[in-house]
Amino acid sequence: MQSLSLPTYAQMLEALEHECKAFNMSLDKRRVSNPLSSLKNRSLFNEPAGFEVFRQIFSTDIAPQLSASNGGRYWGFVTGGANPVATYADWLVTLYNQNVSKGGIR
């Protein structure tokens, strides 16, 4: 297994930028649905695998199976943050990770 040091935000953002660019560049070549998609069965690792292993598995096994639902040829229903502002808002929600409740103790 690789070193399990936590990735920096810069490393994660760089990996995210790479995935976003690769996906957006592939939209014209992807199907808007993927009826033949199938993920191979995987066993859980006995030890923690870390960010790089996850990133590699996502890039090679999962991302190629995703449909072009945020491309111009998709006429389906709205499924989430497909535009840049919604994506940014989603990232902020993830970043701050708040457990928001109404009212609370005063």
Distance between CA atoms of residues 1 and 24, nearest Å: 31
Q: If DSSP states are collapsed to H, E and C, what string results for 42-59?
A: CCCCCCCCCHHHHHHHHH
- pLDDT band of residue 72 (cuts 50, 70, 90) is low
pLDDT at residue 73 is higher than 70: no
Contact present, 27 and 71 (Cβ < 8 Å) = yes
What pLDDT score was predicted for residue 64?
86
Q: What is the pLDDT of residues 14-71, one digit of tens each?
A: 998 999 889 888 888 888 777 777 788 888 888 888 889 989 999 998 888 887 766 5
Q: Would you say the C-alpha torsion 1, 60, 38, 83 has a positive or negative sign?
A: positive
* Model pTM above 0.75: no
Task: Look at 84 and 23; give whichever has higher pLDDT.
Answer: 23
